[in-house]
Amino acid sequence: VKVAVEKRGALIVLEGLDRSGKSSQCRALASFLRERGESVEEWRFPDRTTAIGQMISSYLSQTAELDDSAIHLLFAANRWEKKSSMESTLRNGTTLLVDRYSYSGVAFSAAKGLDFQWCSTSETALPAADLVLFLDIDPEVAARRGEYGLERYEEVDFQRRVATYYQAMRDSTWQIVDANQSVEEVQEALREAAVSVIQSCKSGAELLRLWP
Nearer to ligand NYM, 123 or 130 (CB): 123
C-alpha–C-alpha distance, residues 8 and 198, integer Å: 9
CB of 57 to ligand NYM, least distance (A): 9
For helices 22-35 and 183-202, angle between their N-to-C axes, nearest 10 degrees: 50
Q: With contact defined as beta carbons under 8 Å apart, do 174 and 134 qualify?
A: yes
Binding partner of residue 130 among Mg ion, ligand NYM, none, CB cut-off 5 to 8 Å per kind: none
Q: Of ligand NYM, Mg ion, none, which one sits near residue 105, judging by CB under 5 to 8 A according to partner kind?
A: ligand NYM
Site for Mg ion in 4-63 (CB under 5 A): 18
Residues in the chain: 212
**Diameter of the chain measured on Cα atoms:** 61
SS3 of 42, please? strand
Task: State the binding partner of 153 from Mg ion, ligand NYM, none, CB within 5 to 8 A by kind.
Answer: ligand NYM
Q: Which amino acid is at 165?
A: Y
Bridge partners (DSSP) of residue 41 are 96
Torsion of CA 134, 139, 141, 146, to 10 degrees: 90
Provide, rounded to whole angstroms, the least separation between the CB of residue 105 and Mg ion: 14
Tell me which residues touch ligand NYM (CB under 6 A).
18, 45-46, 60, 75, 99-100, 104-105, 108, 153
Choosing among ligand NYM, Mg ion, none, which partner's interface includes residue 127 (Cβ < 5 to 8 Å by kind)?
Answer: none
Compute CA 48 distance to the chain's CA centroid, rounded to the nearest angstrom.
15
Q: How far is the CB of 44 from ligand NYM (least distance, A)?
A: 6
Contact partner at residue 108 from Mg ion, ligand NYM, none, CB < 5 to 8 Å by partner kind: ligand NYM
Could you tell me the smallest distance in angstroms from the CB atom of residue 109 to ligand NYM? 6
- Residue 127: DSSP 8-state: B
- As a whole number of angstroms, the distance between CA 211 and CA 197 comes to 20
Least distance (Å) between residue 99 CB and Mg ion: 10
CB of 15 to ligand NYM, least distance (A): 9
**Residue 75 binds which of Mg ion, ligand NYM, none (CB < 5-8 A, kind-dependent):** ligand NYM
Residues that bind Mg ion (CB under 5 A): 18
